[in-house]
Amino acid sequence: PPVFQSMKLKVPPQPAYLPGEKVYYQCNPGYYYSYFYGLSTYCEKNDSWYPIDEACYKKQCPTPKVPNGEVYEQYEPQTGFQFDKDAYFYCNYGYFLKGEPILTCKLSGDTVYWGGDIPTCEKIFCAEPGIIENGKRTNSWRVVFEFNEVVTYTCDPSDGPQEYSLVGESKLSCSGPGQWSSDPPQCKVVQCEPPVLKYGKPLSEMKEKFSYKDEVAFECLKGFYLNGSNPVFCGGNSTWEPEMPTCIKGFKPTHPTKPPLSRYPG
């Protein structure tokens, strides 16, 4: 008798069958019977079996319910979550997935089941991002923020001759569960000494003190070439960033010796 993937003979096959003799099939473990097809066939007079199709279908795990989220089938959508098939879980905007993002419908004996707990979609919240010295933030009275809510930091007026500079990001947004888009900034006095380049001279106006993010560009004296970043800026630690360039005696090589300033963070 013919062999099928979804079903097997109810009794072991005989060496031979006479015309008109019937054989009966039953579903394999993990499969169920479809009433549209028969579970039997018979030997015809032309020495062949009456043609039948697969009559059993894979059992399916129940479709998971995920409030504030969705579940998808990666291959052959609309066919249900048959055993050995994966379910992919996604959360709506403003929610995060708690649990495994992929579950497989598994088979044990004749029973199908999900190979793990169904995940949940939880609302995204952030704790307050913190206070800063010499500065303040908006909504300072709140201790919990929702997804994408923004706080803005500003610096207080300084008691001394130099004003505070806000070093870092002034606006922070709640970007994930308990996670802000960046660390809180700092409010501090930033002053850089005038930069000195050996065998070179500044192209920018020089002054006694430079403030946060002030830039200075350089050129080298005749017979020297500039190697490094140009310009440099006064960074948050009162130092010039990136590292000061140097003037090297001779002609500039044709290949680059240092990444451009745009490659540096900050």
Same domain, 146 and 160: yes
Side chain identity, residue 129: P
* Burial class of residue 52 (count of CB atoms within 10 Å of its CB; 0-12, 13-18, 19+): middle
Quote the mean pLDDT of the chain.
Answer: 90
Residue 195 is assigned to a structural domain of this protein: no
The last residue of a domain, from among 88, 105, 123: 123
| Number of helices followed by number of strands (H, E) in the chain | 0, 28
pLDDT of residue 226: 93
What's the CATH number where 44 sits? 2.10.70.10
Residue 83 is assigned to a structural domain of this protein: yes
In terms of residue numbers, what domain contains 80?
60-123
Task: Report residue 94 as tokens.
Answer: 């403003």
Same domain, 207 and 244: yes
Distance CA 137, CA 139 (A): 7
**Residues 84-141: tens digit of each pLDDT:** 999 999 999 999 999 999 999 999 999 999 999 999 999 999 999 999 999 999 999 9
The last residue of a domain, from among 160, 188, 216: 188
Does 38 have pLDDT greater than 80?
Answer: no
Residue 193 is assigned to a structural domain of this protein: no
**Residues 145-181: tens digit of each pLDDT:** 999 999 999 999 988 888 999 999 999 999 999 999 9
Distance CA 235, CA 254 (A): 30
**Residues 39-81: tens digit of each pLDDT:** 899 999 999 999 988 899 899 999 999 999 999 987 766 678 9
Q: How many domains does the chain have?
A: 4
Distance CA 151, CA 170 (A): 8
Same domain, 33 and 20: yes
Residue 107 is assigned to a structural domain of this protein: yes
Same domain, 87 and 102: yes
CB atoms within 10 A of CB 200: 19
Does 252 have pLDDT greater than 80?
Answer: no
Same domain, 115 and 141: no
